[in-house]
Structure 1
Amino acid sequence: MEKIDVIRPGSLKATIGPAGTLKRIIKNREYFLSRKYDIKIYTNDDLSPVAQNSTGIGGVQAKPSYLGKVTKKLKVSLRKNAKHSALLSKFYIKKSQLMVKRLVDYYFQQNSTPDKVVFHSTYECYLFLKRNTNKNVKTVCFYHSEGIPLKMEEIYYPKLKKSQLFKFILDVEDYVAKNVDKCMFISENGRENFLKYYPFVKKEKTGVILNGIDDFCEDEFSTIEVEKDINNGFKYRFCCAGTINTRKGHRIIIDALQRIDKDVLSKLHFTFLGDGPERVELQSEIDKYNLSKHIDFKGAVDNADVYKYLCKSNIYILMSYNEGLPISIIEAMRAGLPIISTKIAGIPELINDNGVLLDPDVDQLVEVLNSIDKYDWKSMGEHSRTRFTNEFTFKRMSREYCDMLDSL
């Protein structure tokens, strides 16, 4: 039996993809033990369980006090304005780095003696590699991105381009690429971009494990089948799940709805699941352009309930500017939904005959929506379900995860 430590900053209650993957590893512990891997996961929950309270898509469901509401509004405002302020940008990055350092410090205090250590972002991997004295330990770093250093950070913190802080982050990325034993990616696109950026890294040192999730249980699948054909007065019922921020492209959808033919608009309804720094501003635009009948913000939704909204929809849409390999699209495929999304990062690896790929562009979305009756959405949805069962289950992912550990 080999001992595997996984170090992942943040909380297992978070809504982002890596947290979901780690929860599925815990849930499927018996399989990993059968493959002779005893996996222990370290997160910031180990340091301060109460502080890590994000439980839903884009936020939490708990009803806050008045002070809590004011505090939340202030945090949202500061986060939104970080992209316009170098000082705020540095604050958020330094805050994140401090959280990572606290976790790595805690990890070394445990005096663990693993055979292999797995990381799900580069900074904790960097701190570990700098401090580790056991040269027999093998290390793996997963990249949940397009494989291009700082691309996502430049979207959130454009004021820090060419800053010393960004230079330091690039140095961190470079150090990890040179010194970690294995670089793993969640899409072929991510690996290809990484190898172009770091030509000194040999391809044999890299690998790809596409994201995967558990299939529905029998009760959930029954709910999907019953509610899929329920009509709420709109022929096309779209769902979009994710944090309401610039990167996820909600504004593209809102702008497109202002420009499509009125007879087409009358057939469409969009449900947005999630919360985030742009929600208030986007809601104002929706009200301004009289689109509230066609767009419904549900706010934070518990991860376990997302499928209930998917099963009441008949098309899934995600107009992101930047991604890795979105779990939300895989969840929609599991529910048998056709997909409209952008041809960026790993998304084209999810979509061929099960959806429509666009640039993150308003004009292209307007064109698709104005022609919406011309597409065979039912057939695309059937292909989504087939592709999910054949390629994107966690059973397949866990097998490949263990195969990767075997290869070290």
Structure 2
Amino acid sequence: MKKVDIVYSGWLEAPNGASKFLSGLKCSADSFSDLNVDMNIISKGDYKAWSTNYNFGKVKSKETLRTRIFSMAKRTTVGSLLLLYILYLKNHVYIVNKYKKENRVVDIVYFHEFFTCYAYLRRKKKGKEAILLSLHSSGDIWGMFFETFPLLNVTWLRPLFRYLERYTLSHIDRVGFVADYPRKKFGELYPEFPFDKTFFVYNGLEIKSFIKKDRDIKSSIIQLVCVGTLCDRKNQMGILQALASLPNDLQKRYSLTLVGDGNVRNELENFSRKNIHTEVKFVGSVADVTSYLLTADVFILLSKDEGLPISILEAMRCSLPIISTQVAGIPEMIEDGKSGYLIPPDYQKLSLLLLDLLEKNVDLIGMGERSKSLFEQKFTKEKMILAYSKLFHSI
């Protein structure tokens, strides 16, 4: 029996892609056991209590205050460093220290966050366990990080980040990714790390059957839905700008639902109120997005950087055609023109596509069926579990 610990600094209950992914793995412990893998996920919930009364719909005022503080601090390099420590590094160190005290004996310790992995390596004593790190990114260790903290991408801090990556990469056994493209991109960016020590495994979800709403053939309104943290990287502003650039009468041929919360929500709401002449709903963070997917016609995600978004997999599972960007692993999820459309993260390109959808009377239902078929072929939980089990036994 191969013993594997996955160490994660976040809450498994949180409504974000990483937490959903790892929560799914935890629920699959019995399936891993059937394949001779004893897998345990150690997260913040093992050391701090998650409030079962937490209501994502009632935290807007707290999030607004937090967002304001976050935005002000990000305006300076020093403030960004403080935020980095308070929001991230402090928590990574806390989880690692708690985990190390347990003195668990395992074959593999597996991380899905760079800084948690680094914190563990700095405290690691000589042992036989293999260290794995998966990067849920486009292949650049710092790409998403600098999207969040752009003022840290400065010359005088680069030696620090270069040291962190060199130390980490020289002390781990494998580096993993959630798609093939990020793996290849990593190989180009970090040629010093042996490429044969890299791997990729697609994220996977449980196959479920949903009753999707019947599309009203008399309705001229196409319902768009986007699920994700409201932030610059996810580029919801680009979606709004694309809608705003359409003539008013054509804007009304669409509606948009944005599921998620984040530090640009107020900016998005203000832009929508002033520039868009059709329905735009901001529903905030929710634990289960399925109901919003089942009432939509098209899923849209205009991200500037990604790994392999869980939100797209959830939409594919619900038989939705996907409009998304040509970044990271996303092109591996979409057959352009058949199950959806791939475009650059540019609102003008999206605006042209939205016009085409209206003019060409596209078969959205047929595209959605192809999207679900691709999900079942490549992105099921069963396939993911089998791939990870083979990986663990190969180490």
TM-aligned CA deviation for residue 230 of structure 1 = 5.3
Write the distance in 2 (CA, Å) between the matches of 1:179 and 1:335: 41
Counterpart of 1:31, as a letter, is S
Matched, 1:27 2:14: no
Pairwise CA RMSD: 2.0
Kept after mapping to 1: 8 A contact 2:244/2:276 = no
TM-score (norm. length: structure 1): 0.90
- Cα deviation, residue 350, structure 1: 0.7
Q: Deviation at 1:44? A: 1.6
Query: 1:103 & 1:163 partners in 2: Cα distance?
Result: 31
Please tell me the residue identity of whatever aligns with 1:351.
I
Question: Partner residue of 1:331?
Answer: 314
Q: Is the 8 A contact 2:112 2:136 kept in 1?
A: yes
Indicate how the Cα distance of structure 1 residues 317 and 327 shifts in structure 2: closer, same or farther if over 3 A, else same.
Answer: same
Per the TM alignment, residue 316 of structure 1 is displaced from its structure 2 partner at its CA by 0.5
| Higher deviation after alignment, 377-386 or 257-266 | 257-266
Q: Deviations over 1:174-207 (max 9, x none)?
A: 2222221111100111111111111122221010
Q: Are residues 11 and 294 of structure 1, via their aligned partners in 2, closer, same or farther at CA, if it must alter by over 3 Å?
A: same
Q: Is contact 2:15-2:286 (8 Å) kept?
A: no
The equivalent position to 1:355 in structure 2, one of 340, 345, 348, is 340
Taking only the aligned residue pairs, the percentage that are identical comes to 29
One-letter identity of the residue aligned with 2:331: P
Contact persistence 1:234–1:269 (CA under 8 A): no
Partners of 1:36 and 1:290 in 2: CA distance: 55
Distance 1:397 1:283 in 2: 38
Change (3 A) 1:258 1:63: closer
Query: Residue 252 of structure 2: which of 266, 271, 280 is its match?
Result: 266
2:160 pairs, out of 165, 168, 193, with 168
In structure 2, which of residues 205, 218, 223 is the aligned counterpart of residue 237 of structure 1?
223
1:230 and 1:312 in contact (8 A); partners too? no
Q: Which residue of 2 aligns with 1:42?
A: 42
CA distance in 2, matches of 1:290, 1:42: 45
Could you tell me how far 1:294 is from its partner in structure 2?
A: 2.2
Whole-angstrom distance in 2 between the partners of 1:395 and 1:337: 21
5 Å-filtered alignment, 1:377-392, equals 377-392=364-379
Does 2:363 match 1:376?
Answer: yes
Report the equivalent of 2:297. Answer: 314
Contact kept, 8 Å, 1:150 with 1:170, in 2: the verdict is no
Alpha-carbon distance in structure 1 between the residues aligned to 2:53 and 2:12:
9
Compared CA separation, residues 228 and 185, structure 1 to 2 (3 A) = farther
Compared CA separation, residues 399 and 185, structure 1 to 2 (3 A) = same
Partner of 2:196 in structure 1? 204
Residues 396 and 228 of structure 1: is their aligned pair in 2 closer, same or farther, counting only changes over 3 Å? farther
Whole-Å separation in 1 of the counterparts to 2:384 and 2:159: 34
1:151 to 143, 156, 175: 143
Q: Does 1:128 align with 2:120?
A: yes
Q: Structure 1 residue aligned with 2:81, among 90, 93, 110?
A: 90
Moved over 6 A (4+): 52-55
2:176–2:200 CA contact under 8 A, matched in 1: yes
Which residue in 2 is equivalent to 1:192? Answer: 184
Give 1:390's aligned amino acid. Q
Report SS of the residue matched to 2:154. coil
**What TM-score do you get using the length of structure 2 for normalisation?**
0.93
Unpaired runs of 5+ in structure 1?
none
Match of 1:77 in 2: 68
Change (3 A) 1:256 1:31: same
| Larger CA deviation: 339-348 vs 256-265 | 256-265
* Structure 2 Cα separation of the partners of residues 192 and 175 of structure 1: 21
Q: Counterpart of 1:301 in 2: which secondary structure? A: coil
Following the alignment from structure 1 to structure 2, what is the Cα–Cα distance between the partners of residues 90 and 133? Answer: 28
